[in-house]
A and B are shown apart, each in its own frame.
Chain A
Amino acid sequence: MIDLRIKGLRFDYPDGRRALDGVDLEVERGARMALIGRNGSGKTTLLLHVVGLLDGHGEIEVCGIPMSSASVHDIRKKAGYLFSHVEYQFIMPDLLGDVMLGCSPVSSSPEEKRIKAKEWLERFGLERYHDRSPLDLSSGEMKRAALAGIMAGDAELLLLDEPLGNLDREGAEHLLSVLTGLGRTMLFSTHRRYLVEKAATHVAVMARGRIDDVVPVKKALRSPAVLELIY
């Protein structure tokens, strides 16, 4: 089963700059694919396409649903997105409320949502912060809080833009243990060797708006071309 399939995706920003130049990619269910490449190679642009925030030419299929303006809402329920500027992810004034906002199914009662949200916060080690503003958290806590919100929505495919950001070693380890324990399909952009080694099953190498190569992580970590791109 393929959770994400992209064929011939092209995209130009309004100023005419070509950001994606024929991307082909397949991510199998359960795979955790690291998307690596130089700054400006198009990683963020590609991830934004998968949730329909950008609209280029080409085919995208998420969990078996082909992307179209009619299906984009269903796709957004299946795909969770972690912004690299994670502080913009939060909408509600308090953390518990924010995680509840992401809870699915939408129809469940506030009481059910509250229980579910509390469970996720606990799983991410944030049970003490229910009342706090998400914006008051440290950067590591913020990443985990945003992920809790995504997971509460039962996302099947996780798209993570630079999930490690500027986390310290302990924060990175904590986040990784949570991430790998989730058992979800993931596509994450990163420049960090640590993340590739510990979390990825596959590595996709991006350059100038194309995906040059997709390889299993063991092989990738022996390739000089890959090691040049991560540190």
Chain B
Amino acid sequence: MLILLRPAAVLLLAVLVAAAPSAVLLGASLVPMIIVQLRGRESLRALGARNLPILLFSLVFTALTVVPGEGPLSSKGGEAAMTVLKIAGVYNVVFTGGRWTGRRRFAGVVGHIPIERLRVYLVLLQAVTERLLRNSTQIVRQISLRLSTSGAGRLAVARYYFQNMASKELASMRHLQAAAILRLHGVPGSSAEKPRPRGEELAAFFYALALWAFYLYGIIA
């Protein structure tokens, strides 16, 4: 069960970020992952680069919800800003939390799921997602080498990106499917040994629980 502590803490925090009605609670939910992030060695630049697409996405997304709205724009503006923050917040909690949790532990958590089909599904989903992310970086690199990425060039990049991504993804899934057919005789289990509990995951877990309690009992609005 200890193996579930870290992922549980991350999940609790991520859901809290999404549910948080106020900036205070939102900020408080981010604290543990900010600490984890600070202890890691990711440069500010890398952090920015990784957040740029998701910020752009959430800006476009929320702009769409604001524009056709009736009533004063100012009140809507505040809400929209919260939505942007929340989307970026959840993304970062999941991403940083995922790193903190680690590959083995992810596999360990999946290995605990008692339903065989779900386990196979999750393992394959993880494999496809990981390749999607890797393909994505490679494609962006290739395309930006070949096309100028300014002004109208960007539209072309976007078009080629999606085409390229889709065909790469199809090829990748075909290969992965072949590998799965050949290799999945058994049921994927976990390679993780019994983890030793560490202070940090207990702390993060109870911090998340406490925030939830505060939120539910209305102590922090």
Contacts and interface: CB of A to CB of B under 8 A. Distances in A.
A106 B186 contact: yes
Interface stretch (A12-20, A58-66, A93-101, A204-212): A93-101
Contacts of B102: 131
Contact of B126 (A85, A88, A93): A93
A174 B183 CA distance: 25
Nearest to A77: B185
A90 interface: yes
**Interface size class of chain A, counting residues whose CB lies under 8 Å from the partner chain:** 20 to 34
B181 interface: yes
Interface residues of B, number: 31
A182 interface: no
A89 interface: yes
Interface in B111-149: 123-124, 126-127, 130-131, 134
B176 A88 contact: yes
B65 interface: no
Contacts of B107: 92-94, 97
B175 A92 contact: no
B206 to A, nearest CB: 27
Nearest to B181: A53
Interface of A: 51, 53, 73, 76-77, 81, 83, 85, 88-94, 96-97, 100-104, 106, 110, 113-114, 117, 130-133, 135, 149, 153
Interface of B: 102-104, 106-107, 123-124, 126-127, 130-131, 134, 172, 175-176, 178-193
